[in-house]
Amino acid sequence: MKQKRKISLLIALAMMLTVFAIPTLSYGASEDGVEYGIVPAGAKEMPDYLDIGRTLDLNVKSNPASGVNQDEWKWKIDYARDYFDSKKKAEEIATIDPNTGVLTARSEGTVDIYVYKLDPTVTPDEADVVASDKITLKIGYLRDVDAYSNDASYDIRLYANKTAKLGRVYSRFNNDDGYGEEAVASTTLAIPSQYVIKNPAWDSAPSEFDEKYHGTYKITSIAPEAASSKVVKSIIVPDTVTTIGNYALGYHIVSTDKWNETTMQYDKTYNKVAGVTIYGTSNNSAAAKYAKANGFAYKNMNVKPVAVTSKPKKVANVKAKAGKKRMTVTWKRDKNVKGYQITYAQKKNFKKAKNVAITKNKTTKKVIKKLKAGKKYYVKVRAYKKSGNKKVYGAYSKVKTVKIK
């Protein structure tokens, strides 16, 4: 057997848009004071990923360098957590010869590869591991990254052919919907059409990954169970998407307390959400086919996807304090709106009410002057967003009552 080396592949689990971890050389500890690592035969480092169908001959290398008896080492492969397909078993993704370390990539996914050496002075059944190490290897894809919009964050998987797959969609607000705080909270979900790794020339300190793989990755597929929610009613799917997985859109997915020994996870219930409309750009698109297959309404926009602005949330913590012929109105800032509208009147039904427009998002206080002393006033506040040239208002806050001094 050929002399073998080792390199450890470190994967960043929390990546922001174009900031990534790069594989680095490392060695596992051992009882003999020598550190061991893994590299492919004839290579200096592990590849960034391995194409499906390829084989990889893995060998053990020592540090400091010395002769390594490859026959003393055993190899094992195990499943690594994968948000894109949690139902696969390790042997479905890749297999490895326990004696030679030859790995075969079989399907897309992530695996942990272990190598270990037993104490040669003890029988195998009783021997302790005296040296070992582990690497994590991506099969069939480049990297998993995170992306963000105003209302949601996305798991996105990148491929070497400059395509991408949309995985789980998460809310950027706390809520108890679906998967807990992870489920989509907004009533409108716009699926992104691409993911961009900026040109390293624009960055003063580009990563090695950016230099090798920068460019635009077109999102062509949506993974199964991607966007669980019971509140999303409008889903915009760009024409770049050609495949959509089961229960990816329009379902509220809830984990049960029943453990499934076959899938090695808790069973789930798939609740179809009423009133969902899926928007696409063609009657023959993946979005149209998915909507028809799942019984959802479908609308062909027949143009490039347009932004659908959801209504703002109700303004919180509204307070009104009386002053001399004036009142001071305060409220909690909402970072996701354009501005606010204060409405006040002397009558409870707000007849002959007056409005005050607040055009800055950061403003959370307004003094209203020239009010009548000794009179009672009713006041409420609502937020608004801009959709083109139009304002989209949210619901009013609770009415506050104040008697002017």
Residue burial 109-124, b: 16+ Cβ < 10 Å; e: rest: bbbebbbbbbeeeeee
Give the CB-side neighbour count of residue 252, counting CA atoms within 13 A: 17
Domain match, 153 and 125 both? no
Domain match, 345 and 383 both? yes
pLDDT exceeds cutoff 50 at 122: yes
60 falls within a domain: yes
Residue 328: pLDDT band (50, 70, 90) is very high
Domain match, 156 and 285 both? yes
Return all residues near 74 (Cβ < 8 A) that are at least 6 apart: 98, 99, 115, 116, 117, 118
Percent of the chain residues past pLDDT 90, beyond the cut: 53
16 falls within a domain: no
330-353 pLDDT per residue, tens:
999 999 999 999 999 999 999 999
308 falls within a domain: no
**Strands 376-387 and 339-345, sheet pairing:** antiparallel
How many whole angstroms separate alpha carbon 250 and alpha carbon 63?
54
> Residue 282, Cβ neighbours under 10 Å: how many?
12
Residue where a domain stops, chosen among 268, 300, 332: 300
Residue 387 belongs to domain with CATH number: 2.60.40.10
For residues 293-306, average pLDDT: 82
For residues 144-156, average pLDDT: 84
> Residue 401, Cβ neighbours under 10 Å: how many?
11
383 falls within a domain: yes
Per the structure, the count of domains in the chain is 3
Domain match, 153 and 245 both? yes
Domain match, 102 and 187 both? no
Domain match, 277 and 159 both? yes
Domain match, 71 and 158 both? no
18 falls within a domain: no
Q: What is the mean pLDDT of the chain?
A: 82
Residue where a domain stops, chosen among 114, 139, 164: 139
User: 390 or 15: which carries more pLDDT confidence?
Assistant: 390
How many whole angstroms separate alpha carbon 236 and alpha carbon 169?
14
Residue 220 belongs to domain with CATH number: 3.80.10
CA 99 to chain centre: 38
Residue 94 belongs to domain with CATH number: 2.60.40.1080
Domain match, 156 and 249 both? yes
Q: Which two tokens stand for residue 228?
A: 């669980």
pLDDT the model gives residue 299: 94
344-384 pLDDT per residue, tens:
999 999 999 999 999 999 999 999 999 999 999 999 999 99
For residues 44-73, average pLDDT: 88
Residue where a domain stops, chosen among 105, 139, 173: 139
Domain match, 148 and 209 both? yes
Contact assessment for residue 156 and residue 167, using Cβ atoms and an 8 Å cutoff: yes
Domain match, 278 and 331 both? no
Domain carrying residue 287: 144-300
128 falls within a domain: yes
Radius of gyration for the alpha carbons in the chain, expressed in angstroms and rounded: 29
Domain match, 170 and 69 both? no
Domain match, 258 and 155 both? yes
pTM for this predicted structure: 0.62
Lowest mean pLDDT among 92-101, 120-129, 244-253, 372-381: 120-129
> Residue 240, Cβ neighbours under 10 Å: how many?
19
How many whole angstroms separate alpha carbon 59 and alpha carbon 69?
10
How many whole angstroms separate alpha carbon 161 and alpha carbon 146?
19
21 falls within a domain: no
117 falls within a domain: yes
Q: Which two tokens stand for residue 331?
A: 């409220």
pLDDT the model gives residue 360: 92
pLDDT the model gives residue 26: 41
Residue 201: pLDDT band (50, 70, 90) is low
Residue 97: pLDDT band (50, 70, 90) is very high
How many whole angstroms separate alpha carbon 372 and alpha carbon 67?
94
Residue 16: pLDDT band (50, 70, 90) is very low
- DSSP H helical segments within 214-365, as ranges? 286-294
For residues 117-126, average pLDDT: 63
